[in-house]
Amino acid sequence: MNNTEILNALNNRYACKEFDKNKKINDEDLNLILESGRLSPSSIGIEPWKFLVISNEDLKNELAAVALGGKKQIPSCSHLVILLNRAANDLKADSEYLNKLFNEDKHLPKEVADIMLKMIKDVNDNRFKNNEKEINHYSREQVYIALGTMLTTSALIGIDSCTIGGYDAKAVTKILSDRNLLDTNHFNISCMLALGYRNENPAPKTRRSFEDVVEFVK
């Protein structure tokens, strides 16, 4: 893919307001989008995300009823991805999650894993003062990096998307918890991502000029 093709894909990307219900994303493309999120960078490599991929029509309709910002997108999309972020307790240096992540999942030598865990302890102690609200915000910030990667990947392979942040968090949490899809001891809801194929012709993209946005310092 050359520069022009990349720019064309990004110019073609927009927040889709309604999807074509009859068009479904194939498994190969869907998995590529999800894999791009999994491979995203995160602060100190904490990877604090989980992706719930929902295609169940009843569940999508139930979620749409409590998501003002996704009333059209959620029922019509091919797949709804709910991006979750790790709760503050999982991001403490002595947590089971982080110790498994660095010692087992990443296959780091013990001395390196210990250094990473000490870095996290220092961040929590000094930057966040061990405030759970601040640590949760930090966790969500990392998930938005994964969201950006997934949006870009979707655009590059011709799949439309819409980020949805307008929802009743308590109601969505209850719906997912009641279905045993969300363990609130370990995860919080960050945002939603609707994926599918457009059912409308959007207006041409408008943005501020390159010169207004970019300043080179030499």
Tell me phi and psi for residue 181, to 5 degrees.
-105, -10
Q: pLDDT grade, residue 6 (50/70/90)?
A: very high
Length of the chain: 218
pLDDT tops 90 at residue 31: yes
- Give tens-digit pLDDT for 136-184: 999 999 999 999 999 999 999 999 999 999 999 999 999 999 999 999 9
Q: What is the DSSP letter of 113?
A: H
Tell me phi and psi for residue 46, to 5 degrees.
-80, -15
DSSP secondary structure, 121-178, as one string: HHIIIIISTT-HHHHHHHHHHHHHHHHHHHHHHHHHTT-EEEEE--S-HHHHHHHHHH
Q: Are 51 and 81 in contact (CB under 8 A)?
A: yes
pTM exceeds 0.85 for this model: yes
The pair of three-digit structure tokens given for residue 14, joined into one six-digit string: 């927009």
Mean pLDDT of the chain: 97
- Give tens-digit pLDDT for 47-94: 999 999 999 999 999 999 999 999 999 999 999 999 999 999 999 999
Q: Which residues pair with 163 in a beta bridge?
A: 193
For residue 83, the model assigns a pLDDT of 98
Quick one: which H or E segment has residue 33? helix 27-38
